[in-house]
Amino acid sequence: MSERDPKVFLDYVQAHEREWGGQTYPQRPRMEQVLRAAVVAFWIDSTVANGSRHIITLHDDLSVIEEYFTRLIRRLPYGFPTRRLTIVFQHGEEVEAGVKVAFRPVPRKLSSS
Q: How confident is the model at residue 92 (pLDDT cuts 50, 70, 90)?
A: very high
Torsion of CA 69, 71, 72, 73, to 10 degrees: 90
Q: Which of 93, 107, 102, 111 is nearest to 12 (CA)?
A: 93
Per-residue model confidence (pLDDT) at position 88:
96
Per-residue model confidence (pLDDT) at position 108:
86
CA-to-CA separations, 34 to 56, 80, 81, in angstroms, rounded: 8, 27, 24
Tell me the whole-structure pTM to 2 decimals: 0.77
DSSP three-state, residue 61: coil
Per-residue model confidence (pLDDT) at position 81:
77
H or E, element range at 39: strand 39-45
Task: Give the DSSP letter of residue 78.
Answer: G
Segment 9-24 shows an average pLDDT of 90
By the 8 A CB rule, do 64 and 97 touch?
Answer: no
Per-residue model confidence (pLDDT) at position 62:
96
Per residue in 21-61, pLDDT (tens digit) is 888 888 999 999 999 999 999 999 888 766 678 999 999 99
By the 8 A CB rule, do 40 and 34 touch?
Answer: yes
